Structure 1
Amino acid sequence: METSRIPGFYNMTVEERIEMLKELHSSSDKDLNNIKRHVPLSTEMADKMIENVIGTFQLPLGLGLNFLINGKDYAVPMAIEEASVVASASHIAKIVREAGGFTTKATERVMIGQIQVVGCPDFHEAKEAIINQKELLLEAANNAYPSIVKRGGGAEDIDVRILNEDTESKYNQMLILHVYINTCDAMGANIINTMVESIAPIVEELSNGKVYLRILSNYADRCLAKASCVIPPKYLKTGAYSGEEVRDGVIHAYEFAASDPYRAVTHNKGIMNGIDPVVIATGNDWRAVEAGAHAYAARDGQYSSMTIWSKDEYGNLVGELELPMSIGTVGGATRVHPLAKFSLDLLNISTAKELAQVIVAVGLAQNLGALKALATDGIQKGHMALHSRSVAIAAGATGEMIDIIAEQLIKEKQIRVGKAKELVEEYKK
């Protein structure tokens, strides 16, 4: 993508936006035609992906614009049904762009496979035996999936824990192995599961116990991505609110979420409003990302805000978001879903680490968009303006009538289907 800064994009028709994409990105006509025909996934292909297929279910696919991340432009595909999310993320990305853009980084792509062992005669002896044979176990795990080793990944380390050692119940006492596996650019579920299943018999022999579960963990706390931004107050001025007032309002809103789980849940849901659409658009497992993100938000013993907002010594607003990001750019739906492949191509990314960094930047932008709205005019103003169009369509409005009915609903402050139906009937007379 030459640039993600496309003024007036929201005012264009869908056809005009696609023509603009042709000019700015080297997408094939076939890819763009798939979007225009609204048939990105055939039922035949869907039938090969899951069971009991009866059709496909589509979501709107939009572009988060204005994203400048580590000096590189990104137009970010976002698949979501909720109004105002794409607009909010793009608006904040423009502000952050003017302030210098997002800075991101990521750790190595190390995922976790778990093996549960029960019934050990002596759990401490079992733990010691496994640790002493760590190299043997790592070699066996890598032999089970040699292709990932050839790509520079594979099993790298093993950790062993004893759970519920002091309890009397035989069901509570267990030995847990963590196998740390670099999955390169794959999300890695199949790689991890294959490896831990392959070494389970060796673990049983070493521990004199019985292995039950052997499966990946979606709490990928060794596969982290972090985004940050620094915004001078002058870029935050909104209507009658000074930049300093907006900055302080954002920080107060963050502190509320950091201190109260009831607020944190809604606060973090807003962050995932930005993250999930990108994960979905790129064919990744958004449930795994959600689960890992919420677990990370509770890593200190209390569920809290995923983001951190503060003021630096120069009075700038500083935002940070760090999350586990178990996503991939190869394998799974990324390989077979036409629009997932198109989305990855449009992003012009080379690695899963880069994709993870883009995703957390969008999450940080979406969070600031929500907090900025809450700290100023309230979140309903922008949200309901977009929601009014959906209400108008639900009431039977079509064509130019949609905008007319939507504007009237906003003017009368009655954004509900019943009122919209009345207006549609009046318009038709």
Structure 2
Amino acid sequence: MGSSAEQVREVAVKAKAAAAELAPMTRASKDAVLQAMADALVERADEILAANIVDLENGTAAGLSASLLDRLRLSRERVEQMAGGLRDVAALPDPVGEVIRGYTLPNGLEVRQVRVPMGVIGIVYEARPNVTVDAAGLCLKSANAVLLRGSASAYRSNTVLVEVLAAAAEKAGAPTDSIQLVPGTDRESVTHLLHARGLVDLVIPRGGASLIAHVVETATVPVIETGVGNCHIYVDAAADLEMAERIVMNAKVQRPSVCNAAETLLVHREVAAEFLPRVTASLADAGVRIHGDEMTASIVDGPVLPVTDDDWAKEYIDLDLAVGVVDSVDEAIAHIRRWTSGHTEAIISTDARAIRRFVSRMDSAAVMVNASTRFTDGGELGFGAEIGISTQKLHARGPMGLPEMTSTTFVITGDGQTR
């Protein structure tokens, strides 16, 4: 199904009108809408799952990888989790109207910087239908109209999800067209969205490197760039090795298809001979393929594929892990700074000096100390849900929750002052 620029412009015009009505809604009104959306997901789960089965069948026939199919797959439990995410967002404080700073000038003018909605937010994303729900919930709570453009592989799932969410939202009092699906499944429909300057206030891409690059390089509207997750774990000479093994296994194996899964493991030479055989044996039992340097290959008993520059740079989103041995925390830092995508890095150590050195020299959105990279997630960090992980440095960085969906306005109150 293709789309024309006129069709995309039409939904953007409708969203702009809805945004104006959303802006003054009270927290109570928005929370009631979110609760209604959550209830509707559970009540209409059969319709959602039926559509998802068709997408999965088509994806399997098209040769989608196991990791992409995992991102695409819904279950009754996942639908209930999505509904729970909406309820969590409803329970969060409303960012709209929050005073960021306020003061009175010598001339008596009262100055307040206040959070306000962005307006119309476009979300361009791949595979994962849960993003449809998270994005709709976060945008509505922050009083933004949302234009959702998922991938063709999830088109049926997203169509039903948007229908369910939009109908429930409108019935509960949200403006018509607050939640819309961007028409079309080809790249041209994305391009039309990215060129809707004056109608769309912000676009957020969420997906692989090629999607993000297309959005960033094509857009004439503002973009918050979310990045791929080439996440690193460094096991220091002073690491608790049992803890390190638990963290590595969790970060790599628990759900390898997501952006906060670990893709590279670096181990200090002093503990490599003890740690690498045990952790790679556990990884191999879980089906992980090791891409290692020469030192790793000489230590590990099982098969090790020669690591390449492509491996060091790669977001596998699969059961693969690049592994290397380093001589110091500084060598680990240098390696990470060269190859990182700026998402999440972790150090496992009991040495406070090594930890401080590592944390202060990282240039990523999140740094974990003795914890799994899998915690770089809005839900895990108490945001309720997230719109994505920003790897840029302007306005929003790291998991983007409600505050990141807002801008600010200066409200200046006087009693007749003139300049």
Would you call these one fold, judging by a TM-score over 0.5? Answer: no
| Structure with bigger gyration radius | 1
What TM-score comes out, normalization by structure 2 length?
0.28
Q: Which has the higher helix share?
A: 1
What TM-score comes out, normalization by structure 1 length?
0.28
